[in-house]
Copies of this chain bind each other. A is one copy, B any other.
């Protein structure tokens, strides 16, 4: 069972904008790429329509931006599961460059089934996946403070 995942990324030129920094929307792609690598580390692809008949649309996503990230910076994205419910998983996400906290994110994904030509509907997390996931242990007050 796993409750967290860490992944190192590097800022590409196309992620920047004319302010000379990483564009704020790029952070959401970093978060997503890390989550998908987490699924792969468990032996699953997040595209599991064929195997499990479900997909994982995002229902909520946010970032607070503390420091700027620049071209060619190497940084770590650390995601932790903070809640698992019937059909949703909630994560926190922390970006750090060395000792510097860059950004703090939160996102919630929902398990959804889809039949041909129908909209997606909420579904329960398939047991084979649910048994591989755990909620991260509560962190100390100080840690939570920095996570705010």
Chain A interface residues toward B at CB < 8 A? 12-14, 16-21, 23-26, 28-29, 32-33, 36, 40, 45-47, 55, 57-65, 68, 71-72, 119-120
Contact = CB atoms under 8 A, between A and B. Distances in A.
Nearest to A36: B13
Contacts of A65: 57-61
Contacts of A60: 62-65
Q: Report how many copies the assembly holds.
A: 4
Contacts of A40: 72
B45 A72 contact: yes
Nearest to A15: B17
A31 to B, nearest CB: 9
A11 to B, nearest CB: 10
A62 B59 contact: no
A40 B13 CA distance: 13
Nearest to A55: B19
Contacts of A47: 13, 18, 71-72
18 contacts: A12-B32, A12-B33, A13-B18, A13-B36, A14-B33, A16-B17, A16-B18, A17-B17, A18-B18, A19-B57, A24-B57, A24-B58, A47-B71, A58-B65, A60-B64, A61-B63, A62-B63, A68-B119
A16 to B, nearest CB: 4
